[in-house]
Amino acid sequence: FIIGHAGTGKSLVAKLLAEHLGWELVNADLELENRIGRSMEDIAGDNHESTFYQNVIKILSAQSSRQNIVVNTDPHII
């Protein structure tokens, strides 16, 4: 898991690391957007915090049991 704020370079580091290791790259933000069906901007500004965090927990839990992946996420997701 690579965790950092927007603009810190975590996406680039995650991509390069995944390529170097030959592993799959997983962007947790995109996984969350796909699961909920809305953009992160909409989700983060939403008043449905419990739904947001329930989906975050499901996504990160599912990823933590997988092998040979690099997960890229922001601190707001955790």
Q: What is the mean pLDDT of the chain?
A: 81
- Residues of the chain with pLDDT > 70: what percent? 78
**Alpha-carbon dihedral 61, 35, 39, 16, rounded to 10 degrees:** 50
pLDDT for the residue numbered 23: 97
Whole-prediction pTM = 0.70
The backbone torsions φ and ψ at residue 65, rounded to the nearest 5 degrees and listed phi first, read -90, -5
> Rounded CA gap, 74 and 24, in Å?
18
Q: pLDDT category, 54, cuts 50, 70, 90?
A: confident
pLDDT for the residue numbered 67: 94
- Residues of the chain with pLDDT > 90: what percent? 26
pLDDT tens digits, 1-29 = 998 887 889 889 999 999 999 999 998 87
